[in-house]
């Protein structure tokens, strides 16, 4: 029995669409997920084989599971009940806020993205602009971390590239989880950063619901052994120094710490420095104002313009690099040992004197970061040019720079310049400063600071001035 069935065009199109979706859902999508999961599993096996630190299970847990754990955390639920009562609103309304905050905050860490694509992109990007150096790694920072220990890298915030620099240089030790600012909420940055394990912060949101969600996520990740990286000052340094530490995230990390418990927290001070900071013009022009208040468009637009300009210079064969970028990894600080040394107990860390204890810890970590700042050519030369009363020739300044470098090294500083390459680095530093218009050189080869660039020279010099003062005081 045969015949012809006539179908409406819309029905035929609908049937084709539904059939295509069925094939995609039942065959193509599972195959794509299997291939992606296979790549992730290979990355995890490779990381666990090559790295000193194993990936915590927390970082490998599905994102939705972490969100559910955070949303239904007992402390979060208790805060929801209290806030709903105080505001006189239904509990479900406050819970919707919690879910929204958790979805925005919780990362979806992907080892393949982090250790393969992310690592390679960070390496290429940094090496495109800089000569990247690990100036020094303390023996304790390079040693295997004991079990039941959480690592926290405490970093000065010199540039937005600090994130890439430390991630790249520490990638063979740990998969670092950062707190990214409001700009990271913009697509596609939020997707990329979540895959890299970053959690998104709203620094200026003074909401008790948000604060408890953030605090509990940080504490859950820390207790699970996720390596953290926090910036000492929170925001970028406007004067080139390591300024007073922000204590918010530090207090979250330490708040539930039990010095008598099995788990320990180890802080690794990290000092970074650059011959040229990519955002230096913006930072100098906004010393007294928070340019983050101008919005995401301003921040991202300014960064994009800088990058496009450098690409154009590269294409026109006029680009000559940004000099060196270096990081030093200092002596680790065990929170358990620090608590015992300062006579602090579980009660004193968790109750009334918490702020005083965290403030003391933050200042000690800040001092350790200052002592680990790498000495680079441009910051060193900037200091010497400004402190010289009479103009000196390049050769005279070079000799003075080499002597000062040796003096700082004898005091305990750790230059980012390799031994034996000091003179070449100083020469390159002079060339970079001259190209940027920071100094003038007359016919007699005498060097003077450019009349309009003293603030910029001071910005670079402050990192070495602060380091020198700290070492001299010891």
pLDDT in tens, 58-75: 888 889 999 999 999 999
Question: Residue 305's pLDDT band (boundaries 50, 70, 90)?
Answer: confident
* Cβ atoms 121, 167 nearer than 8 A: no
* Cβ atoms 253, 218 nearer than 8 A: yes
Residue 130: name the closest of 326, 315, 331 by CA.
326
pLDDT at position 209: 94
Count of domains forming the chain: 3
d(CA 67, CA 329): 33
> Is it the case that residue 244 has pLDDT exceeding 80?
yes
> Is it the case that residue 423 has pLDDT exceeding 90?
yes
CA distances from 23 to 18, 33, 464 (A): 9, 14, 63
254 & 401 share domain: no
* Cβ atoms 149, 265 nearer than 8 A: yes
> Is it the case that residue 302 has pLDDT exceeding 60?
yes
pLDDT at position 77: 95
Examine the fold and report which residue of 102, 134, 167 is the final residue of a domain before the chain moves on: 102
Q: What mean pLDDT, rounded, does the chain reach?
A: 84
pLDDT at position 236: 87
Residue 234: name the closest of 178, 276, 176 by CA.
178
339 & 419 share domain: no
301 is a domain residue = no
Q: What is the CATH number of the domain that holds 354?
A: 3.40.1130.10
186 is a domain residue = yes
| E strand or H helix that includes residue 315 | helix 296-315
Examine the fold and report which residue of 305, 340, 371 is the final residue of a domain before the chain moves on: 371
Half-sphere exposure of 155 (CA within 13 A, CB side): 30
Most confident option among 55-64, 168-177, 259-268, 374-383: 374-383
Residue 278: name the closest of 126, 88, 68, 107 by CA.
126
462 is a domain residue = yes
Q: Please give the DSSP secondary-structure letter assigned to residue 172.
A: T
129 is a domain residue = yes
195 & 76 share domain: no
pLDDT at position 131: 93
φ, ψ at 59 (rounded to 5°): -75, -20
d(CA 51, CA 7): 62
CA distances from 431 to 160, 436, 460 (A): 25, 9, 16
pLDDT at position 123: 87
Examine the fold and report which residue of 69, 102, 135 is the final residue of a domain before the chain moves on: 102
**DSSP per residue over 409-439, as a string?**
HHHT---SSPTT-HHHHHHHHHHHHHHTTSE
268 & 352 share domain: yes
Across 52-61, 80-89, 264-273, 461-470, least confident range: 52-61
| E strand or H helix that includes residue 419 | none
d(CA 198, CA 290): 23
67 & 112 share domain: no
* Cβ atoms 257, 110 nearer than 8 A: no
Most confident option among 49-58, 315-324, 395-404: 395-404
pLDDT at position 296: 54
d(CA 163, CA 267): 17
* Cβ atoms 377, 323 nearer than 8 A: yes
d(CA 252, CA 188): 28
d(CA 172, CA 53): 9
Strands 324-329 and 264-274 turn out to be antiparallel
179 & 238 share domain: yes
Q: Both tokens of residue 440?
A: 């003038």
216 is a domain residue = yes
pLDDT at position 354: 72
* Cβ atoms 222, 150 nearer than 8 A: yes
Most confident option among 93-102, 139-148, 164-173: 93-102
Kindly report the length of the chain: 474
pLDDT in tens, 156-202: 999 988 988 998 888 777 778 888 776 667 677 778 888 888 888 88
423 is a domain residue = yes
384 & 253 share domain: no
pLDDT at position 465: 97
10 is a domain residue = no
- Residues 6 or more apart whose Cβ sits within 8 Å of residue 440: 447, 448, 449, 450
Buried b or exposed e, range 274-283, using 16+ CB within 10 angstroms: bbbbbbbebb
249 & 156 share domain: yes
269 is a domain residue = yes
**Per-residue three-class SS string for 185-214:** HCCCHHHHHHHCCCEECCCCCCCHHHHHHH
> Is it the case that residue 350 has pLDDT exceeding 60?
no
364 & 394 share domain: no
Q: What is the CATH number of the domain that holds 419?
A: 1.10.10
Which domain, by its residues, includes 212? 106-278+322-371
82 & 156 share domain: no
Which of the two residues, 93 and 202, has the higher pLDDT score? 93
Q: Please give the DSSP secondary-structure letter assigned to residue 416.
A: S
Q: Please give the DSSP secondary-structure letter assigned to residue 118.
A: I
Residue whose tokens read 């296979």 = 38
Across 175-184, 199-208, 300-309, 421-430, least confident range: 300-309
Q: What is the mean pLDDT of residues 82-88?
A: 92
Which of the two residues, 468 and 352, has the higher pLDDT score? 468
115 & 228 share domain: yes
pLDDT at position 297: 59
Strand locations in 215-263 (E): 228-231
* Cβ atoms 154, 269 nearer than 8 A: yes
182 & 274 share domain: yes
pLDDT at position 386: 95
């Amino acid at each position: 029995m045969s015949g012809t069935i006539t179908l409406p065009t819309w029905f035929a199109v609908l049937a084709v669409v539904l059939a295509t979706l069925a094939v995609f859902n039942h065959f193509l999508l599972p195959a794509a997920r299997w291939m992606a999961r296979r790549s992730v599993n290979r990355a995890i096996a490779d990381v666990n084989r090559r790295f000193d630190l194993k990936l915590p299970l927390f970082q490998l847990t599905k994102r939705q599971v972490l969100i559910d754990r955070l949303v239904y955390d007992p402390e979060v639920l208790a805060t929801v009940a209290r806030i709903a009562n105080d505001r006189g609103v239904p509990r479900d309304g406050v819970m919707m806020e919690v879910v929204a905050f958790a979805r925005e905050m919780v990362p979806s860490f992907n080892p393949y993205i982090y250790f393969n694509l992310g690592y390679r992109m960070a390496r290429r990007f940094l090496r495109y602009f800089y000569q990247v150096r690990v100036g020094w790694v303390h023996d304790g920072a390079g040693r295997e971390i004991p079990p039941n220990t959480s690592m926290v890298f405490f970093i000065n915030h010199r540039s937005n590239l600090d994130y890439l620099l430390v991630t790249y240089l520490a990638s063979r030790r740990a998969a670092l989880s950062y707190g990214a600012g409001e700009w990271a909420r913009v697509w596609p940055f939020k997707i990329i950063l979540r895959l890299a394990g970053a959690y998104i912060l709203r620094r200026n949101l003074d909401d008790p619901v948000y604060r408890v969600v953030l605090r509990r996520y940080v504490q859950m990740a820390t207790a699970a052994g996720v390596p953290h990286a926090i910036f000492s000052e929170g925001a970028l340094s406007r004067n080139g120094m390591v300024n007073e530490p922000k204590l918010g995230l530090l207090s979250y990390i330490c708040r539930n710490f039990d010095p008598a418990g099995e788990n320990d927290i180890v802080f690794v001070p990290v000092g970074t420095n650059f011959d040229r900071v990519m955002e230096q013009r913006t930072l100098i022009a906004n010393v007294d104002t928070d340019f983050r208040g101008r919005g995401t468009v301003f921040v991202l637009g300014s960064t994009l313009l800088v990058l496009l300009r450098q690409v154009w210079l590269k294409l026109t064969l006029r680009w000559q690099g940004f000099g060196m970028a270096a990081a030093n990894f200092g002596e680790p600080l065990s929170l358990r040992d620090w608590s015992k040394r300062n006579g602090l107990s579980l009660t004193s860390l968790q109750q009334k004197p918490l702020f005083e204890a965290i403030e003391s810890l933050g200042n000690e970590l800040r001092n350790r970061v200052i002592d680990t700042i790498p000495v680079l050519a441009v910051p060193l030369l900037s200091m010497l040019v400004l402190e010289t009363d009479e103009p000196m020739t390049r050769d005279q300044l070079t000799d003075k720079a080499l002597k000062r470098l040796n003096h700082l090294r004898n005091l305990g500083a750790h230059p980012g310049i390799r031994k034996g390459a000091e003179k070449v680095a100083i020469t390159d530093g002079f060339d970079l400063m001259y190209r940027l218009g920071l100094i003038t050189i007359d016919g007699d080869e005498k060097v003077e600071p450019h009349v309009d660039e003293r603030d910029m020279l001071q910005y670079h010099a402050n990192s070495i001035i602060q380091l020198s003062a700290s070492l001299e005081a010891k």
